[in-house]
Amino acid sequence: MRPLRCSPLAALAAACLAPHGACAVESGAAPPAAPSAPSNNSLVISADGSTLTGASGGGGGSLTWLHDFSSGVLGIGGEYQRLAGAHWEFGSLAGSMSTGNASAKWTFSADGHFGTGQIPVYQGTRRFNYDVEGADVTGTFGGKLTLQVEGRQYDIDTTHGALPKAALGFLWTPHFQTTVSYSRSVTGNLRTELETARIDYYGHTLNWLLGGSTGHVAPTIVNVYTGALGPAPQLREGYVGVSKAFGRTDWSIMGDYLKVASERRITLTIVCTLHGGSPAA
């Protein structure tokens, strides 16, 4: 198995490649930090390290510049990752725009990640392309109920396909929110179906999140005589995170456990957001 990771701007995400398919797994976003002084420009720096069953670990980092507009955000960044002999790097472009009022607010977002990498093969290495694009529409009603529809396209090495997702969130109190989502691939060879649940707690000084995913992903076994795919392996994922603001910086720490069939990966990610520039309007 060749686990790969892609991270949309201002979020942590993961994509796992298997020899004959792929699983696209959305892990928990970095927990939202306590409110800081608003600004027009921010710099997001992340670093991560991971372990993998039966193979050497890995790590990487990213650097992203964010600019806040009166009704949206634009982000440009780059990321490098390595794991079990493979390494890849990509640039990212993301943007979002919001409109509406207190009773109904709509947010439209899109992002793209484009790069390349190398993976070890018999007597050498092989290069592969890394392209992931996505778009979503989110509606928030009465400041409590949130509905989201998302579509994401994966083209990584020989893995390709579309993975739509629907999510439902509810803010029970100003400090407590729950979110559930369902995603299922519709094209290509992703063959992924996932259910996800997440809890967010917004405290006065610390914010917390706890979540997990379960489902099936692309099978890793192909019958060389008939071409038939073997049974899709089970996926299990759990993650927990905490964030806190210090002056004009926000710090987040995320721990993630991912199990696909007999393969296990544990990842620890630290994110620092530096706020600068003039106050936002």
Domain assignment of residue 281, yes or no: no
Domain count, the chain: 1
pLDDT at 15: 33
Residues with Cβ < 8 Å from 142, sequence gap 6 or more? 102, 103, 104
Q: 213 burial class (0-12, 13-18, 19+ CB within 10 angstroms)?
A: buried
Rounded CA-CA distance 237/54 in Å is 19
pLDDT at 80: 97
pLDDT at 5: 32
Mean pLDDT by 10 residues, the chain (281 residues): 30 30 37 50 96 87 94 95 92 96 94 94 87 97 96 92 97 97 92 95 95 84 51 89 94 95 92 77 41
CATH of the domain at 63: 2.40.160.40
pLDDT at 77: 97
pLDDT at 89: 96
62-79 as b/e, with b when 16 or more CB fall inside 10 Å? bebebbbeeeebebebeb
The whole domain housing 8 covers 2-276
Domain assignment of residue 106, yes or no: yes
pLDDT at 128: 92
Rounded CA-CA distance 76/32 in Å is 20
Rounded CA-CA distance 130/113 in Å is 8
Backbone angles phi, psi at 231, to 5 degrees: -60, 140
pTM assigned to the model? 0.82
pLDDT at 49: 96
